[in-house]
Amino acid sequence: MEEFFGITMGDPAGIGPEIIVKALNNNEVEKLKIVIFGSKNIIEHYINLCNINREINIIKNLDEFKDGAINIYPVNNLSIDEFIIGKINPICGKASFEYIHTAVQFTLEKKLSAVITAPINKTSLNQAGYHYNGHTELIADLTKAQKYSMVLTNGKLNVIHVTTHVALKNVSSYIKKDKILEVIHLAEEAGKLLGKTIPKIGVSALNPHSGEAGLFGDEEINEIIPAICEANKEGINVVGPIPADVIFLKALKGEYDVVVAMYHDQGHIPIKLFGLENGVNFTVGLPIIRTSVDHGTAFDIAGKGIANEKSLVEAIKLADKIVKNKIK
């Protein structure tokens, strides 16, 4: 059975269309069967802007896929003249939702093996009436997933978070045993999708020195350690809590396959420090495979032809790797 991959175009006013046409011109992924879910007019604009000499093939079903061409499944007939590149616009938010919705439905119907998402703008999305914090929550809703999480990876580190878009002053109120245990389960799933038969999971502490026996905070004693102990009883290979100032170094040395971070910046900083351009993410807990770039719409450079497609290339390669690991 042939494997087809879908790429959603992202916010039309951002760098998504540009990095897509550049990525599809990259020889690292040229053998994969990749279909763009987006607006034909906009993709054509960026093919011309980037001087890419590739035929465009418009398809109505996957049987019409043409090797060597840039294949587009047209969704939303938005034109490049209907918005300002680099500016927030609800019509772009509406279009980005429609690209995602269509590609996800294809994947749920097993027509696509995976979906790769180019960046969307949360403000444009919400102004269009789609009230989600981002891709992860949107796709979880479309697929009716209940327990899910985003995993960041850069080829050196793999990190999953207990909390993400939460004000720092409120993080401790979300650090609860049941939530941590849920994320440990998802970390194990992530490790297996990355090819590890029995993933080694390291759980970060929340407080300095793992709380120093309660002197600097009791979340480790009351919530984190009980979650780890229960996971151990279930047979999961997990250790911790390990102070955040050493756990990522240990992971870089190969001691852990996946690190469970307690909050957004705790996990994002080392990922970006040790491989920003190679950074991608994928979502565990979904009934479909979804990978994505680990950057935003970059409105400041959109439309200038200077956006770097490396993260998208890595996201495509990761989707292919996960598909192959699931088939094994």
Q: What's the confidence (pLDDT) of residue 327?
A: 62
**Residue range 285-323, pLDDT digits in tens:** 999 999 999 888 999 999 999 999 999 999 999 999 999
pLDDT over 80 at 106, yes or no: yes
Q: How many CA atoms lie within 13 A of 222 on its CB side?
A: 10
CB of 148 closer than 8 Å to CB of 39? no
Q: Select from 286, 7, 326, 323 the least CA-distant residue to 142.
A: 286
CB of 5 closer than 8 Å to CB of 117? no
Q: What's the confidence (pLDDT) of residue 30?
A: 81
Q: What's the confidence (pLDDT) of residue 328?
A: 61
Q: What's the confidence (pLDDT) of residue 1?
A: 61
The predicted model gives 174-181 an average pLDDT of 96
In the chain, the percentage of residues whose pLDDT exceeds 90 is: 84
Type of residue found at 202 = G
Q: What's the confidence (pLDDT) of residue 258?
A: 97
**Residue range 237-264, pLDDT digits in tens:** 999 999 999 999 999 999 999 999 999 9
Q: Select from 251, 315, 257 the least CA-distant residue to 281.
A: 315
Query: Burial letters for 195-221: b for 16+ Cβ neighbours within 10 Å, e otherwise?
Result: ebeebbbbbbbbbeebbeeeeebebbe
149-153/280-284 β-pairing: antiparallel
Which range scores top for mean pLDDT: 22-31, 36-45, 269-278? Answer: 36-45
